[in-house]
Structure 1
Amino acid sequence: MTLDLGPATTTLATLVAAVRDEDLARPTPCTEYSVADLVDHVGGLAVAFTGAARKEPVPGTEQGAVGDGPRLEPGFRDRIGADLGALAAAWRDPAAYDGMTAAGGIDLPGDVAAAVALNEVVVHGWDLATALGRPFEVTDADVAACLSFARPFSPPRRPSPSAAPPSARPSRSRPEPRPCSSCSPSSAAAPERGSP
């Protein structure tokens, strides 16, 4: 199965294009990153995962796309927008999903690399939209793919206390643990869903 990164990369490219110079120092939900750092990270991951789709390692991406805002050049908005478009195009090739590849110095199957790329684009799209105070739209298909990818990393759900026999039920009710919400864009606010 191939993933269509086009809707998510288009949304993220639109957000990157909307970043004003005065926004670059703003904080983001990624507590270690300013908007500038996050945008630089997005630019790096777009190049790294395009290389992963093409099975062409990109020099300098072995340690992952570290966000470093001061590296942003005056034309970063156009460059990153084009790189996000190239990312979506690269994963439209069915050969991208075959065999092994590498991204951020990690060897992984092509289909897993595609899922990581989509998750990165969607989650960081939400991060950037939140930092800029802008709406974020994501398709239902992208939400489903990201949740499917993140589910194995989520803590296991415990059975509800009501499923236990009466003698084993706790005397006071506690809230049930929820799956890892930090792996999805809905961690702090629900994104607008639907096709862009």
Structure 2
Amino acid sequence: MLINDLLALHHTAVRTSVEIVSQVSADDWGKPTPCSEWTVADLLAHMTVQHHGFAAAARGEGGNLAVWEVRPLGARPVAGYAEAAEDVLAAFAEPEVPQREFDLPEFGPAARFPAMQAVSFHLIDYVVHGWDVARSLGLDYRLAPELAEPALRIALAVPDGESRLKPGAPFGPALAADDEDPLSRVLTALGRSPKR
């Protein structure tokens, strides 16, 4: 796959997450999510800062740890999330991005990845976190058809094993998939149960 094709898919995943988050209301902040120990408010704070962090990384500033610090949501959390999504989409659209390496300190000190891999990380996060928010709100989540095969390929490439048991691990250990639906397979590969 070419980087521009991946960026187009990433755009779809992020836009879908914005549509879902736009349905969050003040009554939803305390609801539990499929992310262990996170409420909807916690999840949205994480999703918002990750957009800003990856935007900074796309601009060559990902090594600044301050951009990765989770902050309180503020008075307009849904609008703040949409603005953060616009920030990362604009950053990823900059012409230098395909040749750039991304500093992603959350993966470890001096962790640096080529654009293709970094965009893949962000894409799969927002496929899964879009589903997380939808599930928390009792909404349907539909994986865009063009995302099905690439998202599954990315999900299956995420290493499984002991690292997924550590506190703060983004994904739990892989679960057995009981059907061939691409979204179900993405979720189970990343430790989410589609039926819970």
Q: Tell me how far 1:139 sits from its aligned partner.
A: 1.6
Q: Deviations over 1:41-70 (max 9, x none)?
A: 010111011112222225414xx565x7xx
Letter in 1 for 2:128: V
Within the candidate set 8, 17, 32, 1:12 is matched to 17
**Identity between Structure 1 and Structure 2 (%):** 25
Q: Tell me how far 1:10 sits from its aligned partner.
A: 1.6
Q: Tell me how far 1:148 sits from its aligned partner.
A: 1.6
Contact 1:29 / 1:130 at 8 angstroms: preserved in 2?
A: yes
Mark the CA change 1:141 to 1:103 in structure 2 (over 3 Å): closer, same or farther.
farther
Question: Where in structure 2 are there 5+ consecutive unaligned residues?
Answer: 161-175, 178-184
Q: Tell me how far 1:145 sits from its aligned partner.
A: 2.3
Matched residue SS, 1:51: helix
Contact 1:52 / 1:113 at 8 angstroms: preserved in 2?
A: no
Question: Where in structure 1 are there 5+ consecutive unaligned residues?
Answer: 156-176, 190-196
Mark the CA change 1:97 to 1:182 in structure 2 (over 3 Å): closer, same or farther.
farther
Q: Tell me how far 1:94 sits from its aligned partner.
A: 4.5
**2:139 is equivalent to residue 134 of structure 1:** yes
**2:78 is equivalent to residue 77 of structure 1:** yes
Q: Tell me how far 1:103 sits from its aligned partner.
A: 2.3
Matched residue SS, 1:117: helix
Q: Tell me how far 1:92 sits from its aligned partner.
A: 2.7
Greater helix fraction, Structure 1 or Structure 2: 2
Mark the CA change 1:138 to 1:86 in structure 2 (over 3 Å): closer, same or farther.
farther
Aligned residues: 164
Listed as ranges, the matches of 1:98-177 within 5 Å are 98-105=99-106, 106-153=111-158
Contact 1:65 / 1:104 at 8 angstroms: preserved in 2?
A: no
* Aligned-residue CA RMSD (Å): 2.6
Bigger radius of gyration among the two = 1
